[in-house]
Every structure is written in structure tokens, then in C-alpha cells.
Amino acid sequence: ASLFAAVEMAPRDPILGITEAFVADKNPDKINLGVGVYYDDNGKVPLLECVRKAEAQLMEKLAPRSYLPIDGLAAYDKAVQELVFGANSPVIQEKRAITVQALGGTGGLKLGADFIKRVTPNAQVWISDPSWENHRALFEAAGFQVNNYPYYDPATRGVNFDGMLNALKTMPAGSVVVLHACCHNPTGADLSDAQWDEVIRVVGERGLVPFLDMAYQGFGDGIEQDGGVVHRFAATGGAMFVSNSFSKSFSLYGERVGALSIVAVSADEAARVLSQLKRVIRTNYSNPPIHGGQVVATVLSTPELRQTWENELAGMRDRIREMRRKLVDLLKQKAPGQDFEFVIQQRGMFSYSGLTKAQVDRLRNEFSIYAVDTGRICVAALNSKNIERVADAIAQVL
């Protein structure tokens, strides 16, 4: 028999499956709200001005392409660390934080997972219910048992905070808790500052290991505000993990730029952690690619380009907010008696719209509007030209 005779077909990725169906749809007015990508008002993935300018500078230098160090471009790691923890953070001053370049946010999570497996192989991993669909698969692939903690409450369309807190209180010490730092994917429901305080307290008391996934910094309330929870966890003095991504905030999806940061309790411990993390990297892909890291490092460390980036990111954030407002206003007119105000409270690119699977099916079959079966829609895929049609269709399937 052939070597591969017993290989079974893997299940299709649910979200990429939506895109395939969308591409095959011949309706010229089709709309894809199933994606996890920011589109501008023309329905295009933007190329940011700050990226264009940084790339022009890099092109002028025509630098040779040798290998980067195992942990990535030093200027990138430094700039990212300051962005993630704050430039004056004690964990940086005390050399307790280490940051390595990673292949997107996914790469940061994977490095963290593989490293944790080496340090504490029997730890359980806990993710929110629901969570980004790759969290479970990624940690399971790294060899962990993955459990859910309660998160979303469909009745209030907000966070089931009591459920979440009670779960934290029953997790075995040493459990790894994956937390969305901001702009929860898929629900758009975030914790309040007061709720984060409680979570930080319980995580510390119970000796849990926080792993913050920050894929949408700047898409919620602002760069500083969205990173606040990372600063507050870092201030507790305990060990922590942070993966972050520039896929969305720099619109650099295909360049795979992200990072993993780890905070240890001493500089000596941090140095040992970094040495082991480098082994994880070396045996996976040796060292990361140059281009995306150089672009982000150039933008973050050049004041003028950084200002351009902050303005452009604010523009994306504001446009998403405007689409939330507009959708709610349109639904008020078209579906009177239905309350969609919660869409305005949600943060980031996504909204758990409350649409059922049957309603999502009708949107697809009758209107060529594609959403995720769970009712998740990408608000960043709405624009001034398609929003009216989306609101009309939603009103009709309700």
C-alpha cells in the first residue's frame, strides 16, 4: 500500500470555507462578512502610508539579506517590547522582559505554547468560550489538554463575568489562562477595567499563568488604552506571556509580523528563558524573515512615521466605530422593535450579531451575504456602499 493510503482528509477550515463559497458566488453584489481582515471604505485591504514610506526608505538602502539573529531583528524586538509594556515599564528597566520576533500573532502563540510545554508539560490550558478558533487547535497541537472557561453570555450579549471568575477560582495552580487583551475575537465583548482588576487579582492569588493574546491593539479604544491590561498584569511582578500581532494594526497580514514577550521574575531568569526560547525557534524555523520586521521597526522608531501610523490606526478604529453606529441606526429604521445597541458597545473588528445559524444561511442563500455560522460578522468589512444592503437583508431574515 502507498505510504499515504491511510491518510484521511482533514476537516475544512470553517472560515476559509466561507471565503471559498464567497469566491464561487456569481452574484456581483455579494458581500463577505466572514473574514478577519480590515477593509477600507472601498472594500480593499489598505496599504498604510507609514508602511509605504518605510519601504521606500528601505529600498533606498538596498541592504543585503543575511540571516537575522534567531530571536529576530534587535531594533524590532526593542521597539515591540516598548510598545507592548510601555517605554518606561519596570519590567524593561529591570531586564525581566524578553521579546522575540515571531511569525505573526499565531507564531507568537505557538512559540509560547512550545516553550511552556518544555517548562511545565502537565499544565492545563484554558481558553474563553468561545475563542479565536485556532487557540484550541494550536495548544492541542503543542500537546496540551485545552479547557474552556465561560466567557460570552448570549442573554446579555456581554461577558458572563461571574462564570469566568468562578472558573478561574477552580483552575489548578499553574494552569495557563489565555486572555484576549482587547477586542475579543469572535464576540467583540471585552472586560471592563474593574473586571480586569478582579481577574488579575484571582490569577495572582491562584498562581495561574496569564497568556495575553493581543492581535488587535489600537482597534478598541486606542493603542495605550488597549495595551493597558498588559501593563497592569506586568505590574503584578508575576510571570506572564504576551503574543502580539501587526497583521491588522499595520495591515501587514502576509508579511507575518508578530512577537512573543515573556516576563520573568528576575533578569537572570529572563536570560535563561530567552536562551531556551531560542532553541525552540532554532529547531522550528531557525530565524524569522527580515522585511516585515524592518518595516515595523522603522515605523515605530521614526517619530514622524510613528505619528502617521497612529493616525492611520485611529482612522481604521474610527471607521469601524462609524460602521457600528450606522448599522445600529439602519436596523432601528428597518427592523423596529429589535435592539441592536449592543453592537456599539462591542470592540474591535467583530460583532457577535446574535443572528442564528438559520438566519446566517438565509443571508447567504437569498442575499449572497456571507457571515460565520455563529453569527459573527466582521464590522470592518462593512462600508458606505454595502451597509444599506446588509441592514436590509438582516432586517428581512430576523
Residue with Cβ nearer ligand PLP (130 or 258):
258
Q: How far lies 132's CA from each of 275, 320, 321, 376, in Å? A: 30, 20, 21, 11
> CA dist 389 to 20, 224, 249, 377, 393, Å?
22, 35, 28, 14, 6
B/e letters for 255-279, b = 16+ CB within 10 Å, e = fewer, are bbbbbbbbbbeeeeebeebbeebbe
| Minimum CB–partner distance for residue 243 and ligand PLP (Å) | 7
> Please, which residue, 106 or 368, has the CB nearer to ligand PLP?
106
Draw the binding track, 198-217, toward ligand PLP (x: CB under 6 A; -: no contact).
Answer: ---------------x-x--
Residues 257-276, mask of contacts with ligand PLP (x by CB under 6 A): -x------------------
Residue 98 beta carbon to ligand PLP: minimum distance, rounded to whole angstroms: 20
Figure out which of the listed residues 18, 35, 36, 368 binds ligand PLP, where binding follows CB under 6 A. Answer: 36
126-185 binders of ligand PLP (CB under 6 A): 132, 180, 185
Give the Cα separation of 33 and 51 in Å (integer). Answer: 26
Q: Cell 529600498, residue?
A: 59
CB neighbours (10 Å) of residue 207?
A: 13
Place of cell 516553550: 115
Residue 247, interface with ligand PLP (CB under 6 A)? yes
Number of residues that bind ligand PLP (CB under 6 A): 12
Which residues partner with 98 through β-bridges? Answer: 262
Among all chains, which residue has been given the C-alpha cell 477593509? Answer: 39
Our finding on whether 245 is near ligand PLP (CB under 6 A) is yes
Catalytic residue ranges: 132, 213, 248
Q: Which of 105, 112, 218, 220 binds ligand PLP (CB under 6 A)?
A: 105
Residue 331 has which C-alpha cell? Answer: 436596523
Where does this chain touch ligand PLP (CB under 6 A) — which range of 27-35, 102-110, 189-197, 259-267?
102-110
Is residue 292 a contact point for ligand PLP (CB under 6 A)?
no
Residue ranges binding ligand PLP (CB under 6 A) = 36, 104-106, 132, 180, 185, 213, 215, 245, 247, 258
